[in-house]
């Protein structure tokens, strides 16, 4: 009892020769179908190259076109020839010219001999397959497909749309339940004979010739009528990418293929010399006689498809430049923006660094230069602090910074004194944690010794800018984690909001803050605001600071750090 191979060949004939020879000399009959499109000269040379082998035969040639009935017709002819010419064959294995056996033939034979009645064919109902190309699954069986998908895509699509519009539906022959699956199967003589000698074969053929990609459904459907024992998987390791084209194996996959313990793999790049020379041997030492386990290869290819379809979040580069809304994450990691903290607290950056670690920058969008942590002039990835370069593309500056510092939390200060172009981007980025103390920009003005006319003008300008920025943060399009306090609110009870922010940044830390940042002196701040009002300006963003009731005076009285239990 043995296994016979059917090989469908259309190019890389020299490789097909080597594989056919390998199987034939190992005692397995091979029937080869060569595409009619291969020219006569090449075909003759190919046939002569295998002429010395008695158990290699060539079947009637068909002109094969992808996605059409011709592939099934070719398979049928070759399968009939195997069954008729080699009565000792119990299993027929369908392979292609770009298949490569990974394990000694003896092991395959042994494997099949211990499962004499099992048909190995992937066969799944249409409802359960996620991998159909072009969005056609059930419709493969109910529409007509007279146009080539590869050559006349436009007509193909148009005709499908027309049939959908008219509500056209073909009747599926009674008793058939459409199943789909990999084209590459290994069937028993009984099942295959039953399918090929079915009294209704002609009727089924009439139906399947108009089905789209019948090579993935003809045998897969009919096998359900006859088989005693279906093992719904392919013995051929064959992976498809998101466009439905097979992944290709190269020399550098050698170890991966070896460890997969699969019997046959496709598709092999014809010039993968090392694969062909390594695997075309019956050396039993190369495998462990284990069950096929393509898990590692599955993961590799699944990752590749994911890279192609979803990409790396927060990366903008030459071959990934998503349209707005399609970024899968505008930036690659969470980061924190602090507005008004540096103004209200003394040495806030140092305090923040002690509390959460990571990188604490100054005002990255300062008009003069990007104030990187530690006063660096160039930062990770070679990002310079030049304001001109940053303002040339502020989004790129931000996304580059977050990408370059992957794995390390970034915090930076922002305020109405900074370049505002980035506002919308920050607000709409779910990775941004934005905490704002409104009106805190007034504190440095309050402490400055400039003349009051200048201060009044400056205050009015900053307030206008911040109000606009707050409108953005409060817009319904905002996706960032935004927290806004007025300065008056914050000054009342600074520890609680700080604790919330810190916990969110470093959730695992869960340390209680032991040391509060030191608040700037605010004695007379209420009067300062009143003076602004007296000059005709209306400072409203900082909340209510009644004249004479200085809240900060209480915090300034403490001489030792403020402890919270």
In angstroms, the CA 479 to CA 326 distance is: 14
**What's the token pair of residue 291?**
């069950």
Q: Between the CA of residue 441 and those of 183, 411, 447, 532, what are the distances in Å?
A: 69, 19, 11, 14
Task: Among 286, 305, 333, 465, indicate the residue that binds other proteins (CB under 8 A).
Answer: 305
Q: What is the dihedral of CA 142, 147, 152, 158, to 10 degrees?
A: -50
Task: Among 303, 354, 468, 511, indicate the residue that binds other proteins (CB under 8 A).
Answer: 303
For other proteins, the closer of residues 131 and 250 by Cβ is 250
Residue 564: CB atoms within 10 A of its CB come to: 12
| Distance of closest approach, residue 423 Cβ to other proteins, in angstroms | 19
| Distance of closest approach, residue 137 Cβ to other proteins, in angstroms | 22
Q: Which residues, numbered 399-438, are part of the site for other proteins (CB under 8 A)?
A: 400, 403-404
Task: Among 147, 204, 226, 301, indicate the residue that binds other proteins (CB under 8 A).
Answer: 301
Order of strands, edge to edge, in the sheet holding 89-96? 56-58, 30-34, 2-9, 89-96, 186-188, 119-120, 230-231
Rg over CA atoms, the chain: 36
497 lines the binding site for other proteins (CB under 8 A): no
End-to-end CA distance of the chain: 82
| Distance of closest approach, residue 293 Cβ to other proteins, in angstroms | 18
252 lines the binding site for other proteins (CB under 8 A): yes
For other proteins, the closer of residues 404 and 531 by Cβ is 404
154 lines the binding site for other proteins (CB under 8 A): no
For other proteins, the closer of residues 200 and 251 by Cβ is 251
Query: Whose CA is closest to 483, among 464, 503, 458?
Result: 503
| Distance of closest approach, residue 391 Cβ to other proteins, in angstroms | 8
396 lines the binding site for other proteins (CB under 8 A): yes
| Distance of closest approach, residue 313 Cβ to other proteins, in angstroms | 8
* DSSP-derived secondary structure for 209-240: TTSSSGGGTHHHHHHHHH-S-EE-S-SEE--B
| Distance of closest approach, residue 17 Cβ to other proteins, in angstroms | 20
309 lines the binding site for other proteins (CB under 8 A): yes
In angstroms, the CA 235 to CA 184 distance is: 8
381 lines the binding site for other proteins (CB under 8 A): yes
8 A C-beta contact, residue 482 and residue 426:
no
Burial 174-209 (b: 16+ CB within 10 A, else e): eebebbbbbbbbbbbbebbbbbeeeeeeeebbebbb
Farthest-apart Cα atoms in the chain, separation: 110
For other proteins, the closer of residues 382 and 476 by Cβ is 382
| Distance of closest approach, residue 183 Cβ to other proteins, in angstroms | 17
For other proteins, the closer of residues 15 and 456 by Cβ is 15
Task: Among 190, 200, 231, 241, indicate the residue that binds other proteins (CB under 8 A).
Answer: 241
φ/ψ (deg, to 5) at 214:
-65, -20
For other proteins, the closer of residues 37 and 447 by Cβ is 37
134 lines the binding site for other proteins (CB under 8 A): no
Which among 106-114, 116-124, 242-250, 418-426 is the span making contact with other proteins, rule CB under 8 A?
242-250
379 lines the binding site for other proteins (CB under 8 A): yes
Q: Between the CA of residue 562 and those of 363, 443, 495, 515, what are the distances in Å?
A: 27, 22, 10, 6
| Distance of closest approach, residue 309 Cβ to other proteins, in angstroms | 5
248 lines the binding site for other proteins (CB under 8 A): yes
| Distance of closest approach, residue 321 Cβ to other proteins, in angstroms | 5
The strand pair at 124-125 and 432-438 is best described as unpaired
The strand pair at 378-379 and 383-384 is best described as antiparallel
In angstroms, the CA 348 to CA 409 distance is: 17
169 lines the binding site for other proteins (CB under 8 A): no
For other proteins, the closer of residues 298 and 544 by Cβ is 298
Task: Among 290, 378, 461, 495, indicate the residue that binds other proteins (CB under 8 A).
Answer: 378
Task: Among 110, 229, 271, 523, indicate the residue that binds other proteins (CB under 8 A).
Answer: 271
Residue 424: CB atoms within 10 A of its CB come to: 16
For other proteins, the closer of residues 160 and 332 by Cβ is 332
Task: Among 380, 499, 531, 555, indicate the residue that binds other proteins (CB under 8 A).
Answer: 380
Side-chain-side CA neighbours of 22 within 13 Å: the count stands at 25
49 lines the binding site for other proteins (CB under 8 A): no
In angstroms, the CA 48 to CA 45 distance is: 5
Going residue by residue from 314 to 333, which x/- string records binding to other proteins, judged by CB under 8 A?
-xxxxxxxxx--xxx-----
Task: Among 49, 134, 384, 444, indicate the residue that binds other proteins (CB under 8 A).
Answer: 384
- Which contiguous run of DSSP H or E holds residue 445? helix 442-447
311 lines the binding site for other proteins (CB under 8 A): yes
Which among 38-46, 97-105, 121-129, 313-321 is the span making contact with other proteins, rule CB under 8 A?
313-321
For other proteins, the closer of residues 351 and 379 by Cβ is 379
Which among 85-93, 165-173, 216-224, 392-400 is the span making contact with other proteins, rule CB under 8 A?
392-400
193 lines the binding site for other proteins (CB under 8 A): no
Quick one: DSSP state of residue 482? Answer: E
Query: Whose CA is closest to 191, among 272, 307, 91?
Result: 91
In angstroms, the CA 555 to CA 559 distance is: 9
Query: Whose CA is closest to 539, among 525, 529, 548, 553?
Result: 529
Interaction site with other proteins (CB under 8 A): 241-243, 245, 247-248, 250-252, 269, 271, 300-301, 303-305, 307-312, 315-323, 326-328, 378-384, 386, 388-389, 392-393, 396, 400, 403-404
């Amino acid at each position: 009892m043995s296994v016979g191979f059917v090989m469908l060949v259309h190019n890389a004939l020299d490789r097909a020769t080597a594989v056919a020879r390998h199987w034939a000399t190992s005692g397995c009959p091979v029937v080869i179908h060569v595409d009619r499109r291969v020219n006569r000269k090449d075909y003759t040379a190919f046939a002569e190259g295998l002429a010395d082998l008695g158990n290699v035969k060539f079947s009637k040639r068909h002109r094969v076109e992808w996605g059409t009935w011709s592939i099934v017709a070719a398979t049928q002819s070759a399968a009939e020839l195997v069954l008729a010419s080699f009565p000792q064959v119990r299993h027929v294995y369908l392979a292609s010219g770009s298949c490569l056996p990974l394990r000694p033939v003896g092991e395959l034979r042994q494997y099949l001999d211990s499962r004499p009645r099992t048909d190995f064919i992937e066969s799944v109902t249409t409802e359960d397959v996620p991998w159909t190309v072009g969005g056609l699954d059930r419709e493969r069986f109910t529409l007509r497909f007279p146009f080539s998908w590869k050559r006349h895509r436009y007509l193909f699509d148009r005709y499908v749309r027309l049939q959908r519009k008219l509500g056209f539906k073909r009747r599926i022959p009674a008793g058939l339940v459409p199943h789909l699956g990999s084209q590459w199967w290994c069937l028993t003589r009984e099942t295959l004979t039953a399918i090929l000698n079915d009294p209704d074969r002609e009727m089924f053929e009439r139906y399947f010739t108009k089905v789209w990609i019948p090579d993935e459904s003809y045998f897969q459907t009919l096998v359900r009528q006859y088989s005693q024992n279906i093992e719904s998987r392919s013995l051929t390791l064959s992976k498809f990418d998101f466009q439905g084209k097979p992944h290709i194996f190269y020399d550098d996959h050698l170890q991966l293929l070896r460890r997969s313990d699969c019997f046959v793999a496709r598709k092999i790049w014809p010039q993968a010399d090392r694969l062909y020379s390594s695997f075309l041997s019956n050396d039993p030492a190369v495998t462990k006689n284990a069950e096929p386990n393509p898990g590692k290869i599955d993961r590799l290819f699944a990752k590749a498809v994911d890279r192609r379809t979803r990409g790396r979040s927060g990366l903008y580069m030459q071959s990934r430049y998503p349209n707005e809304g399609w970024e899968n994450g505008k930036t690659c990691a969470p980061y924190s923006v602090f507005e008004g903290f540096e103004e209200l607290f003394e040495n806030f950056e140092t305090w923040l660094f002690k509390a959460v670690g990571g990188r604490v920058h100054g005002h990255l969008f300062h008009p003069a230069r990007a104030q990187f942590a530690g006063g660096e002039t160039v930062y990770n990835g070679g990002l310079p602090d030049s304001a001109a370069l940053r303002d040339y593309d502020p989004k790129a500056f931000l996304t580059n910074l977050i990408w370059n510092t992957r794995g390390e939390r970034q915090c930076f200060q922002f305020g109405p004194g900074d370049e505002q172009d980035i506002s919308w981007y920050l607000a709409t980025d779910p990775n941004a944690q934005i905490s704002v103390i409104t009106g805190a920009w007034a504190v440095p003005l309050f402490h400055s010794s400039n003349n009051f006319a200048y201060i009044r003008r400056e205050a009015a300008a900053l307030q206008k800018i911040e109000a606009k920025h707050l409108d953005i943060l409060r817009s319904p399009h905002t996706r960032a984690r935004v927290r806004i306090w007025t300065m008056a609110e914050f000054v009342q009870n600074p520890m609680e909001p700080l604790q919330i922010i810190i916990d969110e940044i470093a959730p695992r830390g869960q340390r209680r803050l032991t040391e509060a940042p030191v608040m700037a002196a605010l004695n007379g701040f209420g009067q300062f605001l009143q003076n602004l009002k007296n000059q005709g300006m209306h400072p409203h963003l900082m909340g209510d600071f009644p004249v004479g009731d200085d809240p900060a005076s209480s915090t300034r009285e403490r001489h030792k750090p403020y402890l919270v239990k």
